[in-house]
Amino acid sequence: MSMTTTSEAHTAHAEEHHELGFIRTYIFSTDHKMIARQFLFTALLFLLLGGALAVLIRWQLGFPGQPLPGGGILPETMAPGGIILPEFYNSLVTMHATFMVFFALMPLMAGVFGNLLIPLQIGADDMAFPRLNMASFWITPVAGFMMLASFFVEGGAAGAGWTSYAPLSASGEWTGVYLGQQLWLASLIVLGFSSITGAINYVCTVINMRAPGMTWFRIPLATWSLFITAWLLLLAIPILTGGLILLLFDQTIGTAFFRPEGSGEPLLWQHIFWFFGHPEVYILILPAMGFVSEVIACRSRKPIFGYHSMVVALVSIAFLGWVVWGHHMFQSGMNPLLGMTFVVTTVVIAVPSAIKTFNWMGTLWRGDIHYDTPLLHAVSFVALFIIGGLSGIFMASAPVDIYIHDTYFIVAHLHYVLVGGSLFGIFAGITFWYPKMFGRMMNEGLGKVHWALSFIFYNLAFFPMHNLGVQGMMRRIYDPNQYEYLQSLQPTNTFISINVFLFAAVQAIFAFNFLWSLKKGKVAGNNPWKSNTLLWTTPSPPPHGNFPEMPIVYRGPYEYSSPEVEEDYYPQDRPPPLSSSGGHTVEVPNPEPVPGD
Amino acid sequence: MSNAAVATMERKPMPGMKVYNKKLGMWVFLLSEVMFFTSLIGSYIILRFAHPEHWTNPGVVLNVPLTATNTFLLICSSVTMVKAFAAIQQGDVTGLKRWLLATIVIGAGFVGIQMVEYVALSGEGFLPALDAYHAVGRGNPHEGPSLGGPLYGATFYAMTGFHGAHVSIGVLCLIFVYIQAVRGKYTLADHEGVEIIGLYWHFVDLVWIILFTIVYLI
Amino acid sequence: MNFSWLLPETVSTFGPALDDLYYVILWITGIVFFATEITLVVFMVKYRHREGRKAEYIHGSNKAEVIWTVIPFVIVMGLAFYSKALWDEIRDPDRIPPDSFPINVMASQFEWNATYAGADGQFGTSDDFVSRNVLHIPVDRPVVVYLEAEDVIHSFFLPDFRVKQDAVPGMMIPVWFQATRTGEFTLACAELCGLGHYTMDGRVVVDSEADFQSWLDSQQAEEDSD
């Protein structure tokens, strides 16, 4: 095992950078670790923006018709006198979701962690196609700029929801938004290429560049989940791209793919969108599940419970995710018989998620659990994903969905899986892998405070949304008080808004911790968490090329508390002891590639 | 096996798909392209079943004989591409260049003929836009009852247009590969670029055969 | 503040069945919720790091995997089948009661227009009349709304009746329901339809037979006098 110290690696690293120059090191880098950082900073900025938009939404719902403090800076077309206009509200709900899904979560999941983890966890020196990887990143800010620009054109930003249902979205005559909607479509068409090229890289790297001994069932679950997510991206995004192009044609050149006045079919848009859209939500959660597996196993000092089942569950979710899309369309006017088939497929997909949840709990059982910030976030993922998953059962039943479709019950469900699940999973990932990325630890005290307050305010904000839905409050509704039966819900809405503001404010602690620790955090050694994966055998941060020579893998990634060694961890690349270890066979990789290996 | 032996053995990655990276990458990329065309073709199928009155029998508006010839040409270009690859597999750089050039010319010809067809069709009122659509059938003057409906034009141009764009990009890539060949970059031992552009080209041909069948023959 | 998981009162014939299904799911998910979350907390506390105690080196249990695959599978499939009967009753066009009172409802930006057939019972005749944003229906009689949309997708939502159906331009979708008591109830739009989406509040007034007849007559009279 390499004994390079951090300072030696830093010097070597710095020398390499000096040769390459600033632009090639920081701007147009082909090193997967730098690209991961670029995605991280870009995505966190968009996360901030998406959060700001959410605060505006909640201002209107919590304090309807009241001037937003400091809202005077918003233009007259959005919020005259700081009072949010209905058309701006529609743009807010649209753009909040758009930025969060496409420009924050996807880049964080796939762009950051796919890039950081895959080569390091499988023992590769970089991605299969480093220059394509660089291009893959740079497409994202270009698309992001287009999306941002849409706020400032005449008519404002898209306002047809992130789902962009036609005919509302097919012609500006229905929303008053023309260029903004077109920019929305164009931006996402462009962004799709970032996902597709990234996915090609991840798939090829995992298939072809694993170190000797890294068989499929010795790959860490984080890489497994990212590999499967890459397949979903590869196959789902082009479907969306096709649909977006057709919708853009309807908007710009007068076709009528989705416009009934030309015999177009509004439901066709929904089928295309959700055929993409359902695999998309698994794209948003599967990597987080991978991170949670890594963190829980490592910080409980225990093998992941049911590793093979976990892989099978990931693959099952990925396959089943293609045949459930109609559950978004139960009330759409789609054939009711078709609806019933989607009920069956939808309830079945609950099963692999349940399996994973039980396996995480099995990992904690009889473990030696260290209450580090990453572990707290990872366990929060499990707790909150349980709620999100269970709430999904209600809407899986098509008749119950009649009542709760398009209400705040759905908003509660999606935020429990995307924030309670994905975002907390991302926090687990960032706090866990920050030392490897930046060479320093994040501050534990601040991390725990951020975690605790986030967890509390998050639940106070989003749990009551279930109740709003049960009482019949619709989604995307600028002023629920127009409806007499919803007026009694105003105090609940205000309560929710206040907790959303507090949740948002608490993220400043994370931002501060993140930035402060870059320079002032405790210097991390190679393996502060005493994890088994190849990633932690490198210096923090690793030099270009990652490993001085290709590692050899002798065992799976979750050999924690193994009786074969004194310490409670057993890295994948540590050779087995010279003496035979009393009856227990140790696998050593065959130097000749074996067919089927 | 002893640790000493393990420490000195050659470190090679796991065999994976036993296919080099660029080729695997091209295959994977082509899978994403399949999904893209699926979304366009799937939309066409759904719209056509929902509103069959928008369509006519193919030969009424579209020039089937011309396009059939064009299809034959594209298939020929796949043959020339195969011959180009076979040439460099033998180390025959001259053959590579000759057959690449043939592929480029035929491919460009395909796009050219398609553009000629587009001009003729739009002249006859066969257009994608709802308000502008007024297809009057082949060879007819501009008067006459409208045949089919705007969905016909919209789906036609969307599917064939994106295919044509893919062919055009393919031609540009082939030109790049040709230039590389002229510069002597490809040898018997190393000619990955030729193989992967070949894969792309065959894919584009295959998509056309499917499109031609469903647009021009059904 | 309202944090209730209890559904508001329902006034339609299939409402109680839908509510029952909701409560069955609530019970099952509620039990699972408490069982799993409590277990999670117990594990976190019981197995927290303490000096001298090592984690157990166990990779899993095939038996456990089978148990926690089969049991959830059986439960969810049961829910799916339990849902089928009610879904068919509400949505199957062949199950719409043949004597349902018909109303054509056209959703548009940003109002509901209900067309009644008038005394001759035929739509498209001169005695048809239109009621804007207010539907009157008779109690204890099935009603079928033929739902259309003029411009964009809207959604016909009657929370008290547990009725929701998207109104799609280019489609005509039948929605049936039967009121079990008289009163005034909410009609809401539940699909983002533009700027005025939040203003599409209407009313469904359930009348006794007598009141309903007199309403029809008065609307007819107004129509005739126009």
Task: Spell out the domain ranges in chain C.
Answer: 15-93, 98-225
A74: containing domain: 15-537
Concatenated DSSP letters for A228-260?
Answer: HHHHHHHHHHHHHHHHHHHHHHHHHT---SS-G
* Crossing angle (nearest 10°) for helices B64-89 and B192-211: 160
Whole-number average pLDDT of chain C: 95
CA distance A476 to chain C (A): 6
Share of chain B above pLDDT 90, in %: 78
Q: Is B87 exposed, middle or buried (0-12, 13-18, 19+ CB in 10 A)?
A: buried
Query: Is residue B208's pLDDT more than 60?
Result: yes
Mean pLDDT score, B164-176: 98
Distance, CA of A308 to CA of C122 (rounded, Å)? 65
Domains of chain B in start order, with CATH, are 18-217 (1.20.120.80)
Write down the pLDDT at residue C2. 74
A160 inside domain:
yes
Query: Is residue A593's pLDDT more than 70?
Result: no
Write down the pLDDT at residue B82. 97
Interchain CB contact of C109 with A (< 8 Å): yes
A421 inside domain:
yes
Concatenated DSSP letters for A393-442?
Answer: HHHHSHHHHHHHTTBHHHHHHHHIIIIIIIIHHHHHHHHHHHHHHHSBPP
Interchain CB contact of B4 with A (< 8 Å): no
Query: Is residue A141's pLDDT more than 70?
Result: yes
Share of chain C above pLDDT 90, in %: 91
Write down the pLDDT at residue A17. 61
Q: What is the CATH number of the domain that holds A31?
A: 1.20.210.10
Write down the pLDDT at residue B213. 96
Tokens of A259: 């416009």
Q: How confident is the model at residue A557 (pLDDT cuts 50, 70, 90)?
A: very high
Q: What is the pLDDT of residues A373-422, one digit of tens each?
A: 999 999 999 999 999 999 999 999 999 999 999 999 999 999 999 999 99
Query: Is residue C215's pLDDT more than 90?
Result: yes
Share of chain B above pLDDT 70, in %: 95
Distance, CA of A288 to CA of A384 (rounded, Å)? 13
Interchain CB contact of C166 with A (< 8 Å): yes
Distance, CA of C116 to CA of C105 (rounded, Å)? 9
* Side-by-side strand order, sheet with C101-108: C129-132, C111-116, C101-108, C142-149, C173-178
A97 inside domain:
yes
Whole-number average pLDDT of chain B: 92
Tokens of B207: 């998509």
Distances in Å between the Cα of A156 and the Cα atoms of A88, A253, A478, B185 are: 8, 20, 17, 52
Q: Give the pairing type, strands C142-149 and C101-108.
A: parallel
Nearest chain B residue (CA) to A272? B39
CB contact under 8 A, A90 and C194: yes
Q: What is the pLDDT of residues A232-263, one digit of tens each?
A: 999 999 999 999 999 999 999 999 999 999 99
Query: Is residue A328's pLDDT more than 90?
Result: yes
Query: Is residue A586's pLDDT more than 50?
Result: no
The two domains C15-93 and C98-225 share their CATH topology (first three levels equal): no
Q: What is the pLDDT of residues C13-31, one digit of tens each?
A: 999 999 999 999 999 999 9
Nearest chain A residue (CA) to C170? A260
State in words which class domain C98-225 has. mainly beta
Which residues from A are below 8 Å from C196, CB to CB? 86
- Tell me which of 1.10.3470.10, 3.40.1030.10, 1.20.120.530, 1.10.287.90 is the CATH number of domain C15-93: 1.10.287.90
Which residues from C are below 8 Å from A561, CB to CB? 54-57
Q: Strands (DSSP E) along chain C, which ranges? A: 101-108, 111-116, 129-132, 134-138, 142-149, 154-158, 163-167, 173-178, 183-189, 202-207
* ipTM rounded to 2 decimals: 0.96
Domain count, chain A: 1
Three-class secondary structure of residue C207 per DSSP: strand
**256-295 in chain A: CB under 8 A from chain C:** 260, 263-267
A129 inside domain:
yes
Distance, CA of A475 to CA of A486 (rounded, Å)? 12
Distances in Å between the Cα of B215 and the Cα atoms of A244, B63, B147 are: 22, 11, 16
Nearest CB to C73; choose among A351, A391, A405 = A351
Nearest chain A residue (CA) to C42? A365
Query: Is residue A14's pLDDT more than 70?
Result: no
Write down the pLDDT at residue A11. 58
Which residues from B are below 8 Å from A587, CB to CB? none
CB contact under 8 A, A128 and B46: no
Mean pLDDT score, B161-181: 98
Distance, CA of B209 to CA of B78 (rounded, Å)? 12
Number of residues assigned to chain C: 226
A447 inside domain:
yes
Distance, CA of B119 to CA of B108 (rounded, Å)? 17
Query: Is residue A73's pLDDT more than 90?
Result: no
CA distance A79 to chain C (A): 14
Q: What is the pLDDT of residues C145-158, one digit of tens each?
A: 999 999 999 999 99
Nearest chain B residue (CA) to A232? B32
A520 inside domain:
yes
A584 inside domain:
no
Which are the contacts of C192, defined by CB distance < 8 A and separation ≥ 6?
Answer: A90, A93, A160, A161, A165, A168, A475, A476
* Crossing angle (nearest 10°) for helices A373-396 and A266-300: 150
CB contact under 8 A, A386 and C91: no
Nearest CB to A208; choose among B16, B31, B40 = B16
Nearest CB to C188; choose among A483, A563, A568 = A483
